[in-house]
Amino acid sequence: MQNKKFVFIITHSYDNPDKVAGAMQLAANMKAFDVELDFFLMDKGALLAKKGFAETLTWQLKDEFSPIAALMKTLIEDFNVRFYICASCVKHYELDKAERIPNSEIKPGSFLGQMLLERQGLTF
């Protein structure tokens, strides 16, 4: 598994919580193999960076995936995964006025471009 690097690009949140949960479950499973991966949150996915927002996503299909809030907690606390937030989405979703999740950082789209030159991108 050496040299395997990934960036999970999340573009959904409340509009498709099952897709988000599936992506985070896959990421947690991959981290168990010690691969390098981070998230880039953009479009509606940027809302996941708002502290407490993941806890509001309760209408995902039952028994299919772990709750998004629990998956994020595992990714952050157990695996130290970083969540980069698209700078263009910050004002639109008022993330500049909100408390954000741990391990999150605002980055421009060019940062995502740079990451994609070095990593495999998985978009959800």
Fill in the amino acid letter for 110: S
Domain CATH for 19: 3.40.1260.10
**What global pTM score does this model have?**
0.92
pLDDT category at 61 given cuts 50, 70, 90 is low
pLDDT at 60 > cutoff 70: no
pLDDT at 1 > cutoff 60: no
Of 53, 51, 47, nearest to 94 (Cα)?
47
Percent of the chain with pLDDT over 70: 93
**pLDDT, tens digit, 9 for 90 and up, residues 87-113:** 999 999 999 999 999 999 999 999 999
Where in the sequence is the domain holding 109, given as residue range(s)?
5-123
